[in-house]
Structure 1
């Protein structure tokens, strides 16, 4: 599950995601905001605005993670590096190579970091926690490989041609 925080691979930060947790959260469908409606007293049901575009509430992701460190000092350094990356006032870019698209996220909380319970195993320190992010659907990059109906289209050096598109994702 290769993912990047502002072009920094999560593995470089010692950050890994629990199986099924990351994409289970990132692929959630957004909830539409309530449409304008009027409940006429002398008619059945409600009358809804059927002309305005559908807009969505921001999505909140609760991503279960774990941090791998060599010792307590390494744990503190990695924790600080992660916090600095995700706490930028403008948010941060989160890119999933598996999904081929980015997310512009804001850090909301990490409730389980307050009660860290490190586990030593095979000379490594492991800590479980949850990261809570908000997605307001700012435009992000999508990458995809060019392909015809049978195969990927490649260059004369057998390299895939990757195309990027910058758009708003829901």
Structure 2
């Protein structure tokens, strides 16, 4: 399965599409490490930096360009409301990239732009372009992987695919 889902709802069901390159370019960015403990001794060159503690990261914000597609105005309003309900959950939401095989627990921060690309009174398909600002605090999520070897998927005797779940933080 390719594509993306929000709390288990596919992007197609929600009418959401991503501007080419924006989603993966954002999700695969490297996070910024928090400042390490250090001390600048006055009688020594340079500064002493903690080289033992693990690296801890600041929360990272993603800015993603999106499109909302609907067959007519009632469908547009229903999809907009359904997507806003997912974004508005105070606990955040799970964005799963089936292409990457990773899930991210994100919080909605802002939508600084929204514009309809077709007039709402046209009576036909509607398209809107908008930007989302999302925050990743690296909460652990469950990632599901298909079990496979170098040649093909590994299946059971009855032909069912085998999936493995891994609980991890995704940076």
TM-score, L = length of structure 2: 0.90
Q: How does 1:71-150 map to 2 (within 5 A)?
A: 71-113=72-114, 116-119=115-118, 123-150=124-151
Query: Following TM superposition, by how much is the alpha carbon of 1:143 offset from its aligned partner in structure 2, in angstroms?
Result: 1.7
Report the secondary structure of 1:102's partner residue: strand
* Secondary structure, aligned partner of 1:66: strand
- Cα distance in 2 for residues equivalent to 1:19 and 1:77: 25
Q: 1:150: Cα distance to partner?
A: 4.1
> What is residue 17 of structure 1 aligned with on the other side?
18
Match of 1:42 in 2: 43
User: Any residues of structure 2 matched to 1:21-36 within 5 Å, and which?
Assistant: 21-36=22-37
Measured in 2, the distance between the counterparts of 1:16 and 1:82 equals: 12
- Flag as ranges the 4+ runs of structure 1 deviating above 6 A: none
Q: Are residues 1:167 and 2:168 paired? A: yes
Output one character per residue of 1:65-85: Cα deviation in whole Å (capped at 9) or x when no partner: 000112233222211111111
Q: Using the alignment, how far apart are the partners of 1:38 and 1:64 within structure 2?
A: 42
Q: How far apart are residue 149 of structure 1 and its match? A: 4.3
Stretches of structure 1 lacking an aligned partner (at least 5 in a row): none
Which residue of structure 2 lines up, in the alignment, with residue 69 of structure 1?
70
How big is the alpha-carbon RMSD for the aligned residues of Structure 1 and Structure 2? 1.8
2: distance between equivalents of 1:106 and 1:93?
A: 9
Distance 1:150 1:11 in 2: 30
Per-residue Cα deviation, 1:82-110 (whole angstroms, up to 9, x for no partner): 11111101101111111111110000000
